[in-house]
C-alpha cells in the first residue's frame, strides 16, 4: 500500500469532504486572524487582524523585521500556538475547513498529509539522538503507514528529491552539514506530498551560497510537485526572485500585500519602500542610504493612529489619530492613509497639506 | 608608502581536534597575508568556517598564531612585551562584537564599559575628563543626548543602539584599527544602514580604520574601500572593493557575488553551481581547497596550492587559472618549497 | 514546537514608571509584586524582629530559668504553658529564635561564600584546575552530615554551636557550587566578558566585577537554599542531642520535649510550637527562594489567563 493510497483512504474516512473543488478557490484563506498572549501586565496583541490567501502551487512570502508578528502568525495558521498565546479571532480556511475550530483529533489527518511545517532551525526540530531514517519512520507511523517497505521506499524517495544520498538515512542530524539538515527537514515535510508547506525562516542559519542553493531547490521541487509555499523571512531580497506574492508585516499588522514584482518595483507603503531602500545593491551606482530611523513600537505600547507614523517620512497630521485600513491601490493592498478614498493618490501628491481635509476623526 | 598599521605575514592558526583515535589539526587560518592602512575600511568576507573570525581573534590577541607573524606599525607583536606596550596595542586595536545582546554587561549602565576602558587606557584623564570623553564618543556614534543615553541599562536600549555603544567603547581608546566582527548581522535590516553609516563616519571624521568582517557582500560594498575574500582558511582574493566585485578573478568570488540576492537584478545562479559547501580543513593536503566545486578546475589545482599573487596593481588572487590568464602561470604553479 | 512569543529584539523596553534607584529598591519592588515572596518576607521579618528584640514578645529575660510551676497548661500568664522543668514555653520559643536564625544565616552565608568561590573559580579557570575543583565538589557532595558530626562531636566531647555551623558549612556548600559552576560556565563565552578580556582587564577583576554581578540572583537563591538546609539540619542535629544541652533554640526544645515525653504527658505545645516555627522559618526561606527563581527567570512566572477559548463561527 503506497503512501498516497494511505492518504486517500484516510481522507475518504473523514466525514466532511473538502469543498474547494474548483482550482480558482484559494487553498488557504486567512480572514481576520488575531493572536494575543497574556502577560502579567495585560493582553498583548501579537498579530492584528491579518488577511491573506494562498492559491494552489503559489509561493507567498511574508516579510517583516523582528517583533512584527510574522512567526507568531505562522504558528497561528498552523495551529501550533501554545499558551499563553492563543488565537483570539479570525478564521483559517484550509481546503474549505476552518482549522481554528477543529480540535486535535480533527486536525490530525490534516497535519503533515495536507499541510506540513519546516522550522527555522533543523537542530531544533530534528531529534539529535535519533537517526534521520528513524525520524521519518516515526512520522509515517504516526499517520498510519505500517509497512516497513513503504516507509523505506518513501524515505529514499524524498531524500532523492532534495538531493541527499540515501545512505544518510542512517546518519544522525549532527553528522550532516547545516544545509543538508535543512534539506532533510524539507524532505520530511514532503513525506506525504502535502498541498501546502509552511516555512519559518528555513534559510536564516545558512551561509549565503547555501541559502541560494536551498531556495533554488525549494523552487524546483515546487515546480515538480505542485505544492504551495507560505514562507516567512526577514530578508526581503531573498524571496524577491522566488515568491509570487509578498506580504509585508509591521507591528503585528499587514501593511502591504500584492504581487512580488509589483511590490518591489513600486512599493506603496512607506515602510516597504524604506525596507527596500535599506538593501545596498551589489551592482549599479553606490548611493548613500538612510535606512529607517527609530524602532518598531513595543507590542504592549502601541501608538494611536498609524503604527508606522513615528518613523514615516510621509506622515502628516491625520496619521497620528486615524488608524488606516487596508486600501486597494492598483492590484495591491496597502495600509496607509495616503491611499484612503478621502485623500489624493500618492503620485499626485506634492507636500500633503494637512489642513486641506477635515476628515472624520 | 607609510607603514601599514597592521600587517599579517604567513599568518596561520591551527587547532588540535579529535579524541584519541582520530587526532587531527584543524587549519582555521592558513598563510594569510594582508595589510590594513590608515583611514580605510577593509572588508573581510567569507562564509562560516572561512577563518575570518579567527583572524579577528588573532589580531585581538585572543589566540596566538601557530606560525607567521602580525606586525603592528612595523613591530612584530611578540616584541610588545611590557605592560605598557601591551596596553598600547589593546587601545590601538579594540574589537566590536557581533551579538548586541551579550556584548554589554546587563548589570551595569552602558557607560560602564566606556568608563572602564578610559580608566585603563587613558590614565591621563581625571574623572570629569573621562565623563566628557564618554559623552563625546557617544555623540560621535549618533546617540543623542549622550548624557541621557549613558545612564541607561542595556535592556532599555534597542539592538542597534547597543551596537553603537559597542563602537563608542572602541572609539574611547582613540584606536587606530577597530576590529568589527559581524557588527550588523544580528540587527534588523532597517537598522543596519545606520550602523554602516556610523562606520563610514568613523573613518572619515575620526580617521579610524576598520576591519569589517562579514558574510554580507552588499554591505561590504556599501562601506568598504578594500575587500578580502576568504575560503576554507585561505585568502583567495583581495583588492579594491569595486574591482573585486565587478570583475572577480577567483571563481569563488564569482560564486559569492552571484549568490547575493539583489532584487534589482535577475537571478544568475543555477542549483548546480550552488551545490557543495566549504570543507572543514583538517590535516589538509596541498592543492586548492576550492577545487571540488570549481568550474575551471584543472589537474594542477588538485596538487599545488595556489599562492596569492598581485595580478593587477593592488589586486591579489590565489588561483592558477587566473594567474595563467595574467601570464604568470609559472610563478603560481611551482610547488611551494 | 516552540510556544510563540513576540520577539522584542529591536524594540525598546518602555521605561516603567519610577525606575529603581538601586538594586535594593529593585529587590523590594520585585518582592512586593510576587505573592510568594511577600509571604516569605513577612514571615522572615517577624522572626528577625523576634530574634533582635525578644523583649517585645515576652517579659521573661532568661527562658531557661526554671522559675515556674511544672507542666502548666496554656493560660494568660503562660500562653503556651510550661515545660516539665518549669520553663515558660512561649519565652523559650521567642528566645530560641535568635540562635536558630543565627545558625541559619551564618551557616547559610558561609556555605554560599564557599560555593561561589569554588564554583565560579572552577568555571573560569577551566582545564585541570576545573577538573580538580569539580572532583572536590563531587567528593563533598556525598559526605553525609550526621555521621560526620557524630564523629566530630565525639572528638570535641560534645557539640556546640560553632561545631554545628562548621559541619553545616562543610556538608552544605557543594550543592550550590555545582549550580554556580554550571551558570558561570554558560557565562564564560558571553561577549561582554570577552570584551573585558580584550580591554585588558585582569582575571580577578573580571570574575568579581563582571561575572558575579550577573549571577546575583542565583547567588541569592543559593543563600536561601543553604539557609533552609541549615535550619532543618541544625534542628535535626540538636533534636538527637548533638547540640549543646543548655543552648536556647527550637531544636533543643524539641530534644528536651522528646526526652520528657511531652506528647504523652499532655504537653503538646512543647512539641508543636518549636516544630511549627522550624517549619515556618524553613517555609519563609523556601518561599523567598521560589520568588527569586521567578523574578530572575520570567518564563517561570505564573500568568493569570482566561480559559482558552475556541473561536467558532
Nearest residue of chain B to residue C213 (CA atoms): B107
The pTM is what? Answer: 0.78
User: Residue B229, SS3?
Assistant: strand
Q: Say if B193 is an interface residue toward chain C (CB within 8 Å).
A: no
Q: Say if B119 is an interface residue toward chain C (CB within 8 Å).
A: no
Instruction: Give the pLDDT score at B335.
Output: 57
Confidence of residue C3 (pLDDT cuts 50, 70, 90): very low
What are the chain A neighbours of B245 within 8 Å (beta carbons)? 282-283
Q: State pLDDT tens for residues A136-168.
A: 999 899 888 889 999 999 999 999 888 888 888
**Residue with more model confidence, C7 or A229:** A229
Q: Say if B256 is an interface residue toward chain A (CB within 8 Å).
A: yes
**Residue with more model confidence, A360 or A230:** A230
Lowest mean pLDDT among A219-233, C213-227, C233-247: C233-247
Query: Who among A44, A72, A295 is closest to C12 (CB)?
Result: A295
Instruction: Give the pLDDT score at A112.
Output: 82
Instruction: Give the pLDDT score at C159.
Output: 61
Confidence of residue A199 (pLDDT cuts 50, 70, 90): very high
**Residue with more model confidence, C147 or C26:** C147
Q: In Å, how far are A69, A101, A196, B233 from A87, measured between CA atoms?
A: 13, 10, 21, 49
Interface contact flag, B189 A209, Cβ < 8 Å: no
Q: Say if A293 is an interface residue toward chain B (CB within 8 Å).
A: yes
Alpha carbons C207 and C15: distance in angstroms, whole number: 30
Instruction: Give the pLDDT score at B67.
Output: 92
Using alpha carbons, select from C211, C217, C213, C111 the residue that is nearest to residue C164.
C111
Interface contact flag, A297 C303, Cβ < 8 Å: no
Confidence of residue A20 (pLDDT cuts 50, 70, 90): very low
Instruction: Give the pLDDT score at A201.
Output: 87
Instruction: Give the pLDDT score at A361.
Output: 25
Nearest residue of chain B to residue A243 (CA atoms): B263
Interface contact flag, C6 A89, Cβ < 8 Å: no
Q: Say if B271 is an interface residue toward chain A (CB within 8 Å).
A: yes
Q: How far is B101 from chain A (nearest CA, A)?
A: 14
Cis status of the peptide bond prior to B145, with omega within 30 of 0:
yes
Q: Say if A264 is an interface residue toward chain B (CB within 8 Å).
A: yes
In 10 A of CB A246, how many CB atoms?
A: 26
Across chain B, mean pLDDT equals 87
Those residues whose C-beta lies under 8 Å from the C-beta of residue A67, and which sit 6 or more positions away, are A251, A296, A299, C6, C7, C8, C9, C10, C11
Report ipTM (2 d.p.): 0.79
What are the chain C neighbours of A295 within 8 Å (beta carbons)? 10-12
Q: How far is C8 from chain B (nearest CA, A)?
A: 9
Contact A239/A233 with Cβ under 8 angstroms? Answer: yes
pLDDT at position B238 over 90: yes
pLDDT at position C177 over 70: yes
Q: State pLDDT tens for residues C182-191.
A: 988 888 878 8
Residue C205 backbone phi and psi in degrees, to 5: -60, -45
Lowest mean pLDDT among A94-108, B12-26, B240-254, B258-272: B258-272
Using alpha carbons, select from B317, B318, B290, B315 the residue that is nearest to residue B302.
B290
Interface contact flag, B217 A289, Cβ < 8 Å: no
Interface contact flag, B277 A210, Cβ < 8 Å: yes
Query: Who among C13, C198, C216 is closest to B95 (CB)?
Result: C198
In 10 A of CB C26, how many CB atoms?
A: 13
Across chain A, mean pLDDT equals 82
Instruction: Give the pLDDT score at A18.
Output: 38
Q: What is the mean pLDDT of residues A175-189?
A: 86
Residue A326 backbone phi and psi in degrees, to 5: -85, 110
Q: In Å, how far are A53, A78, A91, A196, A287 from C312, measured between CA atoms?
A: 20, 17, 9, 23, 52
Q: How far is B168 from chain C (nearest CA, A)?
A: 13
Nearest residue of chain C to residue B189 (CA atoms): C10
Confidence of residue C301 (pLDDT cuts 50, 70, 90): low
Nearest residue of chain A to residue C12 (CA atoms): A298
Q: How far is B205 from chain A (nearest CA, A)?
A: 16
DSSP alpha helix (H) spans, chain B: 52-59, 83-92, 111-121, 127-140, 146-150, 159-171, 189-205, 217-223, 241-246, 251-259, 271-274, 320-325, 329-333
Across chain C, mean pLDDT equals 78
Say if strands A196-200 and A228-233 run parallel, antiparallel, or are unpaired: parallel
Query: Who among A211, A217, A236 is closest to B271 (CB)?
Result: A217
Q: What is the mean pLDDT of residues C282-294?
A: 82
Interface contact flag, B90 C199, Cβ < 8 Å: yes
pLDDT at position A270 over 50: yes
Q: What is the mean pLDDT of residues B90-112?
A: 89
User: Residue C32, SS3?
Assistant: helix
Q: What is the mean pLDDT of residues B105-111?
A: 88
Residues from C contacting A (CB-CB < 8 Å) are 1-14, 301, 303-306, 308-313
Instruction: Give the pLDDT score at C295.
Output: 64
**Residue with more model confidence, C257 or A230:** A230
Lowest mean pLDDT among A340-354, B234-248, C58-72, C263-277: A340-354
Instruction: Give the pLDDT score at B315.
Output: 92
pLDDT at position B100 over 80: yes
Interface contact flag, A298 C313, Cβ < 8 Å: no
**DSSP state at residue C210:** I
E strand or H helix that includes residue A30: strand A28-39
Q: Which of C11, C294, C299, C304 would you mutate first to test chain A, the one with the most A CBs within 10 A?
A: C11
Confidence of residue A269 (pLDDT cuts 50, 70, 90): very high
Q: What is the mean pLDDT of residues C301-310?
A: 43
Say if strands B75-76 and B234-240 run parallel, antiparallel, or are unpaired: unpaired
DSSP 3-state percent helix, strand, coil across chain C (nearest 5)? 70, 0, 30
Instruction: Give the pLDDT score at A3.
Output: 47
Amino acid at each position: 500500500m503506497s503512501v498516497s493510497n494511505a492518504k486517500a483512504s484516510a481522507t475518504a474516512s473523514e466525514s466532511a469532504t473538502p469543498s474547494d473543488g474548483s482550482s480558482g478557490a484559494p487553498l488557504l484563506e486567512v480572514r481576520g486572524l488575531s493572536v494575543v498572549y497574556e502577560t502579567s501586565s495585560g493582553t498583548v496583541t501579537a498579530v492584528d487582524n491579518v488577511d491573506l490567501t494562498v492559491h494552489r502551487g503559489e509561493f507567498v512570502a511574508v516579510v517583516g523585521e523582528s517583533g512584527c508578528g510574522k512567526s507568531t502568525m505562522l504558528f497561528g495558521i498552523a495551529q501550533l500556538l501554545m499558551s499563553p498565546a492563543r488565537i483570539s479571532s479570525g478564521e483559517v480556511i484550509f481546503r474549505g475547513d476552518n482549522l481554528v475550530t477543529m480540535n486535535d483529533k480533527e486536525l490530525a489527518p490534516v497535519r503533515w498529509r495536507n499541510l506540513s511545517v519546516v522550522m527555522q532551525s533543523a537542530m531544533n526540530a530534528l531529534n539529535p539522538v535519533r537517526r534521520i531514517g528513524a525520524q521519518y519512520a516515526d512520522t509515517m507511523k504516526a499517520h498510519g503507514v505500517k509497512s516497513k517497505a513503504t516507509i523505506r521506499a518513501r524515505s529514499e524517495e524524498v531524500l532523492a528529491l532534495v538531493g541527499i544520498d540515501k545512505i544518510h538515512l542512517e546518519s544522525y542530524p549532527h553528522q550532516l552539514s547545516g544545509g543538508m539538515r535543512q534539506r532533510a527537514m524539507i524532505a520530511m515535510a514532503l513525506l506525504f506530498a502535502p498541498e501546502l508547506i509552511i516555512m519559518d525562516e528555513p534559510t536564516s542559519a545558512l551561509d549565503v551560497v547555501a541559502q541560494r542553493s536551498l531556495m533554488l531547490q525549494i523552487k524546483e521541487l515546487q515546480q515538480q510537485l505542485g505544492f504551495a509555499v507560505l514562507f516567512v523571512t526577514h530578508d526581503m531580497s531573498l524571496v524577491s526572485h522566488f515568491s509570487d506574492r509578498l506580504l509585508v508585516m509591521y507591528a503585528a499588522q499587514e501593511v502591504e500585500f500584492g504581487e512580488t514584482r509589483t511590490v518591489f518595483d513600486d512599493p506603496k507603503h512607506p515602510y516597504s519602500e524604506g525596507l527596500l531602500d535599506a538593501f545596498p545593491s551589489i551592482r549599479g551606482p553606490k548611493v548613500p542610504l538612510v535606512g529607517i530611523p527609530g524602532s518598531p513600537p513595543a507590542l504592549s505600547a502601541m501608538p494611536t493612529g498609524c503604527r508606522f507614523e513615528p518613523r514615516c517620512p510621509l506622515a502628516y497630521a491625520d496619521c497620528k489619530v486615524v488608524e488606516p485600513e487596508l486600501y486597494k491601490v492598483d492590484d495591491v493592498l496597502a495600509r496607509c492613509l495616503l491611499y484612503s478614498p478621502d485623500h489624493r493618490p500618492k503620485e499626485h501628491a506634492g507636500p500633503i497639506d494637512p489642513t486641506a481635509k477635515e476628515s472624520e476623526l | 608608502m607609510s607603514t601599514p598599521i597592521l600587517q599579517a605575514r604567513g599568518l596561520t592558526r591551527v587547532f588540535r581536534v579529535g579524541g584519541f583515535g582520530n587526532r587531527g589539526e584543524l587549519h582555521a587560518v592558513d598563510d594569510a597575508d594582508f595589510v590594513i592602512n590608515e583611514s580605510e575600511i577593509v572588508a573581510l568576507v567569507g562564509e562560516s568556517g572561512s577563518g575570518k573570525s579567527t583572524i579577528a581573534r588573532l589580531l585581538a590577541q585572543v589566540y596566538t598564531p601557530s606560525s607567521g607573524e602580525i606586525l603592528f606599525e612595523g613591530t612584530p607583536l611578540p616584541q610588545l612585551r611590557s605592560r605598557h606596550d601591551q596596553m598600547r596595542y589593546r587601545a590601538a586595536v579594540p574589537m566590536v562584537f557581533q551579538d548586541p545582546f551579550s556584548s554589554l554587561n546587563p548589570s551595569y549602565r552602558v557607560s560602564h564599559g566606556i568608563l572602564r576602558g578610559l580608566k585603563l587606557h587613558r590614565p591621563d584623564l581625571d574623572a570629569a575628563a573621562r565623563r566628557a570623553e564618554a559623552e563625546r564618543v557617544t555623540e560621535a556614534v549618533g546617540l543623542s543626548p549622550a548624557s541621557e543615553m549613558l545612564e541607561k541599562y542595556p535592556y532599555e536600549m534597542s539592538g542597534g543602539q547597543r551596537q553603537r555603544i559597542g563602537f563608542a567603547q572602541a572609539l574611547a581608546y582613540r584606536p587606530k584599527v577597530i576590529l568589527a566582527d559581524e557588527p550588523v548581522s544580528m540587527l534588523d535590516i532597517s537598522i543596519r544602514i545606520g550602523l554602516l553609516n556610523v562606520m563610514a563616519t568613523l573613518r572619515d571624521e575620526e580617521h579610524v580604520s576598520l576591519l569589517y568582517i562579514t558574510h554580507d557582500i552588499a554591505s561590504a560594498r556599501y562601506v568598504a574601500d578594500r575587500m578580502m575574500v576568504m575560503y576554507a582558511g585561505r585568502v583567495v582574493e583581495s583588492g579594491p572593493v569595486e574591482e573585486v566585485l565587478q570583475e572577480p578573478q577567483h571563481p569563488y568570488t564569482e560564486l559569492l557575488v552571484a549568490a547575493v540576492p539583489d532584487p534589482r537584478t535577475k537571478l544568475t545562479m543555477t542549483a548546480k553551481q550552488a551545490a557543495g559547501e566549504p570543507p572543514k580543513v583538517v590535516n589538509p593536503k596541498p592543492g586548492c581547497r576550492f577545487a571540488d566545486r570549481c568550474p575551471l578546475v584543472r589537474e594542477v589545482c588538485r596538487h599545488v596550492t595556489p599562492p596569492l599573487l598581485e595580478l593587477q596593481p593592488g589586486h591579489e588572487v590565489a588561483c592558477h587559472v587566473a594567474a595563467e590568464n595574467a601570464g604568470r602561470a609559472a610563478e603560481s604553479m611551482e610547488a611551494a618549497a | 514546537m516552540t510556544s510563540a512569543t513576540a520577539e522584542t529584539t529591536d524594540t525598546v523596553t518602555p521605561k516603567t514608571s519610577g525606575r529603581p534607584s538601586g538594586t535594593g529598591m529593585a529587590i523590594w519592588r520585585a518582592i512586593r509584586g510576587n505573592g510568594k515572596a511577600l509571604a516569605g518576607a513577612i514571615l522572615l521579618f517577624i522572626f528577625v524582629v523576634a530574634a533582635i528584640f525578644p523583649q517585645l514578645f515576652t517579659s521573661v529575660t532568661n527562658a531557661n530559668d526554671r522559675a515556674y510551676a511544672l507542666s502548666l497548661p496554656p493560660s494568660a500568664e503562660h500562653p503556651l504553658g510550661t515545660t516539665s522543668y518549669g520553663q515558660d514555653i512561649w519565652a523559650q520559643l521567642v528566645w530560641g529564635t535568635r540562635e536558630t536564625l543565627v545558625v541559619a544565616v551564618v551557616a547559610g552565608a558561609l556555605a554560599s561564600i564557599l560555593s561561589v568561590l569554588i564554583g565560579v573559580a572552577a568555571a573560569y579557570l577551566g582545564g585541570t584546575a576545573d577538573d580538580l575543583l569539580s572532583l572536590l565538589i563531587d567528593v563533598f557532595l556525598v559526605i553525609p552530615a550526621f555521621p560526620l558530626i557524630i564523629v566530630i562531636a565525639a572528638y570535641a566531647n560534645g557539640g556546640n554551636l560553632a561545631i554545628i555551623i562548621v559541619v553545616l558549612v562543610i556538608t552544605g556548600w557543594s550543592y550550590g557550587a555545582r549550580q554556580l559552576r554550571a551558570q558561570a560556565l554558560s557565562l564564560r563565552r558571553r561577549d561582554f566578558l570577552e570584551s573585558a578580556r580584550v580591554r585588558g582587564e585582569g582575571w580577578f577583576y573580571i570574575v568579581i566585577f563582571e561575572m558575579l554581578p550577573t549571577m546575583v540572583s542565583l547567588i541569592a537563591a543559593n543563600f536561601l537554599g543553604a539557609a533552609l538546609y541549615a535550619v532543618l539540619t541544625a534542628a535535626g542535629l540538636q533534636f538527637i542531642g548533638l547540640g549543646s544541652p543548655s543552648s536556647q533554640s527550637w531544636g533543643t526544645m524539641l530534644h528536651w520535649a522528646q526526652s520528657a515525653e511531652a506528647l504523652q504527658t499532655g504537653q503538646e505545645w512543647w512539641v508543636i510550637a518549636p516544630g511549627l516555627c522550624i517549619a515556618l522559618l524553613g517555609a519563609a526561606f523556601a518561599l523567598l527562594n521560589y520568588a527569586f527563581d521567578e523574578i530572575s527567570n520570567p518564563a517561570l512566572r505564573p500568568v493569570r489567563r482566561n480559559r482558552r477559548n475556541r473561536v467558532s463561527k
